Amino acid sequence: MGFSKDFIWGAASAAYQIEGAYNEDGKGLSIWDVHSRKAGRVKYSETGDVACDHYHRYKEDIALFKEIGLKYYRLSISWTRILPDGTGKINEKGIKFYSDLIDELLAAGIEPMVTLHHWDYPYELYRKGGWLNDESPLWFEEYTKIVVEALSDRVKYWMTINEPQCIIGNGYFHGAHAPFLVTCDRDMIIMSHNILLAHGRAVKCIRKYAKQPPLVTFVPMGPAYIPKDNTAEAIEEARRTTMSMKQTLFYSITWWSDPVYLGKYPDEAYEIFGEDMIHPSKEDMEIISQPLDFNAVNIYFSRGLRNPNHYATNEYQGVPRNTLNWVVDERVMYWAPKFLYERYGKPILIAENGFADLDWIDRNGKICDMKRIDYIARYVKSLMEASDDGIPIMGYLYWSSTDNFEWSEGYDKRFGLIYVDYNTLSRTIKESGHWYKTLIESNGDILN
């Protein structure tokens, strides 16, 4: 059967990871601009100050996107490029940059998909308590309104907040991402609730002010546990474990998606967190559970039950991994959409999926990233099987369009379809980029 004729093929990126120009044209500082500077937080003390210099080279990049054949491009907006202090005075040069970027994409025949927040939280708002401040949902709503009024005449697809699991889990539970803190459950619960309220307020704001009918969603991570066999019992066990909070806590699917799609926190949360758990008002949950048009999820790897003395249940001796040590298991691209659709009932968009490797230009001037091609083929083929089994799959966005700043890992780990030489900032389409073009042109049929 394959994918539908209107299947979304594209690639994704994030502002802090590619734009650079961190202090140009009136932009304010984000928590990544500030907190990444302390030695030991990012490998080799690297920062996103310059990154890929997309801010100055976006026309060159978009020309390469067109050459690859991208139909859609998911970008994120830098909050502090629009509102340098997070609220208050608007930076018109920031709005102009994104307006010009959208125009360039449309001129190239590429549909923009806008993410409002991809981790680069305003530093001035962080100083006021950040997500722990109960005013934070209103701050996000103010920012959303400005962006929607400026861009919604040309932007139809809107994504509110990317991977809230990493905002809280990496930023405040493990201390591995900005602001590099380790805090208590109660704080993380309050911050989570405020992030969800910010999402809900943003959805209402988009629907109120958009200049054309919008398509709106939220973007959590969505990895699944894989059934040990095809029996009904094994599938049910994998489904139950995928949706449980016990192993993953703030990284779980249900902690973030149940409030959004089902209008309530998981029952498990009250068992796990006890008296730390909040009891939100009916009004709060109505805001959080604003109707969405589709379920956008980022899926890279399967989950496995941890074993301190052995491999996790999704691992084994010699298991394929990428350079971030993530297990390569394409079956997750079948089971995750299946479990998510069965629980939440919304069409699925794969908003991120990709392969990190150590790429280089060979003696012939090419980047022969055959493992990345194999990875994409495996995962997209598995996604196609989900589609064939009746799961409504909207599309697939590869992460990422170009190599970029990979957060605390710095620049070594490369995900891009386009190679960036960080010394010269020159770009070269990788073999995976050329192959991805043929995949798009065939609507995935070359995998059959």
Question: Catalytic amino acids?
Answer: 163, 352
Q: Which stretches of 204-362 are assigned E, i.e. beta strand?
A: 215-219, 295-298, 348-352
Q: Which two tokens stand for residue 91?
A: 């930076």
Q: What totals of helices (H) and strands (E) does the chain contain, helices first?
A: 16, 10
Residue type, 72: Y
Cα distance between residue 44 and residue 401, in whole Å: 24
Per the listing, tokens 């907190």 go with 35
DSSP-derived secondary structure for 69-101: T-SEEEEE--HHHHSTTSSSS--HHHHHHHHHH
For 101, 323, 429, the CA distances from 401, given in Å and listed in that order, are 15, 18, 10
Q: How far is CA 260 from CA 301, 336, 437, in A?
A: 23, 18, 35
Positive or negative torsion for Cα 392, 372, 426, 366: negative
SS3 state at 430: coil
> For residue 165, what are the contacts with CB-CB under 8 A and spacing of at least 6?
220, 221, 250, 251, 252, 256
Q: Which residues, in sequence order, are CB contacts of 88 under 8 Å at separation 6+? A: none
The answer for residues whose C-beta is within 8 angstroms of residue 214's C-beta and 6 or more apart is 152, 156, 157, 158, 206, 207, 293
DSSP letter at 13 equals -
Q: In terms of Cα–Cα distance, which of 259, 218, 260, 253 is closest to 238? A: 253
**Rg of the chain over CA atoms, in angstroms?**
21
